[in-house]
Amino acid sequence: MSEQFEMIAKTFQGLEEILAEELTTLGANDIQIGRRMVSFSGDKRMMYKANFCLRTAIRILKPIKNFTAKDADEVYNQIQTIPWEEYLDVNKTFAIDAVVFSEEFRHSKFVSYKVKDAIVDYFREKTGKRPSVRINNPDVLLNIHIAQTTCTLSLDSSGESLHRRGYRQEAVEAPLNEVLAAGMILMTGWRGECDLIDPMCGSGTIPIEAALIARNIAPGVFRKEFAFEKWVDFDQELFDTIYNDDSQEREFTHKIYGYDNSPKANEIATHNIKAAGVSKDVVLKLQPFQQFEQPAEKSIIITNPPYGERISTNDLLGLYSMIGERLKHAFTGNTAWILSYREECFDQIGLKATSKIPLFNGALECEFRQYEIFDGKYKEFRAEGEELSKERKEFRPASGERKEFKPGERREFRPRFSGERREFGSERREFNGERRPREFKDGIKFKVLATPGHTPGGVCLLTGGVVFCGDTVFAESIGRTDFPGGSYKQLLQSIKEKILPLDDDVKLLPGHGPATTVGWERRRNPFLQ
């Protein structure tokens, strides 16, 4: 019997139960659902299959050491006890990805450096040589996760995120993540039993993922490589048997339709669909949703309209009102699923949702809502004995009770900090003074705070208890400084001198991501400690 070991499959919040079902189908053992992850056990074959077959996993980690540490020195000492020659050759490269949620360890980058030092010193003491660090495409990628004082060091068997299937040739603005698209489809219960329609398909992600699901084609078939292929114990023959096994693929007798009103999006979707090899299953049409007509066959709609966040539209509420109108008049007798962010947008649809599932699209806490489209009144529809997809399981977040969807509330968003910050040597002329408040016609007064660093002329606008801070500071992060004239040191100085002296309850409204407060960033922002 092959050696069994623990593994962790990472995913997006809200997709944990779907991922657990996928792992069950694969034959994994000891499946346990956590937050944004599912742990399981299996052998080397299972690890290869998990990377190759799972649609809702972002990466597959293989823990190699669990330990507790109260400071960086303890982390260093624990890492040094690992027999690294079993995992890494001195002539190969490695990189470390750190995820830290701890009062003791405030900066993930510092943790990465300590792990790196421990590994390098281990090899230098034993061989007189050291492996090199390579941020991009290393031979071995390591992941260290610290929750308070509990530490887990893992080998990342995936490498590049598994959402990067390999078929995407181009993308429209703000494309839907492939893992999220697959999770949405699987949540509906659809496996190819009828036609599927995405009336706003953009670059074609939902139609492509749907075609792969309908035919049960493994998403990993398009990938050029996985990280485990560079490991010292990689079994090429075993992986080849998994890669070439198409026995689980099936026929698909229906069609998938993708519509969009953008010629550019239609062109991009055409290229992506061709690259995925599903052109015979997907029909693309250049058509606005206003012209949507009742399909001839029973169908399901799964779509992700604009939210007005990353993609703007001239009349966002009007768009959702039109969606509701077309569904009521041209989709009777069928089911629609819509992912969106704003409650006011859902209100404009004007239909009663039969399921509401919280999902994250990036940092945005959205809802995936199901609508059964029927003739007449809802009570009459129920009286006729129709069933509202009772066989379909309602998925809930793994972290407990499903929370109510409340627009405008603070979203829990913990960005990951990675990448080196560059400081450019040339300094531009800077504005350091305070500008006088400018009075607008409606009486609102703004105080201009000079906050250079992100750019030489960066400013924030203060009015009442609110600061419009642009790209100066974010929720538990700070702005980029790698533009010409940017300065990491100067940005920190600007934040500490102009933002942090404000009262704790002053609200910060960044240019991207969730709102935060001065008090929260003073206590929790790792860059400001």
Domain-ending residue, one of 320, 348, 383: 383
Instruction: Compute and round to an integer the Cα radius of gyration of the chain.
Output: 26
Q: What is the pLDDT, as a whole number, of residue 362?
A: 81
137 and 187, same domain (yes or no): no
368 and 489, same domain (yes or no): no
User: Rounded to an integer, what distance in angstroms lies between the CA atom of residue 113 and that of residue 95?
Assistant: 10
Q: What is the pLDDT, as a whole number, of residue 171?
A: 77
* Identity of residue 78: Q
219 and 76, same domain (yes or no): no
Strands 299-303 and 195-198: parallel
In a domain, 413, yes or no: no
In a domain, 90, yes or no: yes
| Residue 227 near residue 157, CB atoms below 8 Å | yes
In a domain, 162, yes or no: no
Per-residue pLDDT reduced to its tens digit, 327-341: 999 999 999 999 998
Q: What is the pLDDT, as a whole number, of residue 137?
A: 82
Per-residue pLDDT reduced to its tens digit, 167-188: 988 877 768 899 999 999 999 9
Question: Confidence band (pLDDT; 50, 70, 90) for 515?
Answer: confident
Q: What is the pLDDT, as a whole number, of residue 409?
A: 40
Residue 287 pLDDT greater than 80, yes or no: yes
Q: What is the pLDDT, as a whole number, of residue 365?
A: 86
| Least confident among 136-145, 322-331, 403-412, 509-518 | 403-412
Collapsing DSSP to helix, strand or coil, 446 comes out as strand
Question: Confidence band (pLDDT; 50, 70, 90) for 352?
Answer: very high
| Least confident among 255-264, 276-285, 442-451 | 442-451
268 and 341, same domain (yes or no): yes
446 and 336, same domain (yes or no): no
- The CATH number linked to 268 is 3.40.50.150
- The CATH number linked to 504 is 3.60.15.10
What's the mean pLDDT in 360-369?
88
64 and 148, same domain (yes or no): yes
| Residue 185 near residue 194, CB atoms below 8 Å | no
Sequence-ordered list of residues with C-beta below 8 angstroms from that of 491, at least 6 positions apart, any chain: 451, 452, 453, 454, 458, 472, 478, 479, 481
In a domain, 512, yes or no: yes
| Residue 349 near residue 338, CB atoms below 8 Å | yes
Does residue 120 or residue 411 have the better pLDDT? Answer: 120
Q: Phi first, then psi: what are they for 503, rounded to 5°?
A: -60, 155
In a domain, 403, yes or no: no
Strands 473-474 and 477-478: antiparallel
Domains contained in the chain, number: 3
Distances (CA, A) of 235 to 9, 92, 228: 21, 18, 9
Q: What is the pLDDT, as a whole number, of residue 384?
A: 47
Nearest to 272 by CA among 206, 328, 323, 325: 206
Q: What is the pLDDT, as a whole number, of residue 2?
A: 76
Which domain range does residue 306 map to?
178-223+244-383
136 and 14, same domain (yes or no): yes
452 and 372, same domain (yes or no): no
Residue 432 pLDDT greater than 70, yes or no: no
Task: Output b/e per residue, 172-193; b: 16+ Cβ within 10 A.
Answer: beebbbbbbbbbbbbbbebebe
In a domain, 78, yes or no: yes
209 and 90, same domain (yes or no): no
508 and 371, same domain (yes or no): no
What's the mean pLDDT in 337-365?
90
User: Rounded to an integer, what distance in angstroms lies between the CA atom of residue 56 and that of residue 184?
Assistant: 10
Question: Confidence band (pLDDT; 50, 70, 90) for 313?
Answer: low
In a domain, 232, yes or no: no
364 and 494, same domain (yes or no): no
- The CATH number linked to 31 is 3.30.2130.30
341 and 457, same domain (yes or no): no
Question: What share of the chain in percent tops pLDDT 70?
Answer: 85
- Label residue 380 left, alpha or beta by phi (over 0 means left) and psi (-120 to 50 means alpha): alpha
Q: Phi first, then psi: what are they for 184, rounded to 5°?
A: -60, -45
Strands lying side by side in the sheet with 256-260 = 282-286, 256-260, 195-198, 299-303, 335-340, 364-372, 355-361
Per-residue pLDDT reduced to its tens digit, 436-474: 444 444 568 899 999 999 999 999 999 988 999 999 998
The pTM (predicted TM-score) of the whole model is: 0.71
Place of tokens 């398909």: 201
Q: What is the mean pLDDT of the chain?
A: 84
| Residue 7 near residue 38, CB atoms below 8 Å | no
Alpha helix ranges (H) inside 147-230: 178-188, 205-215
Residue 206 pLDDT greater than 60, yes or no: yes
In a domain, 173, yes or no: no
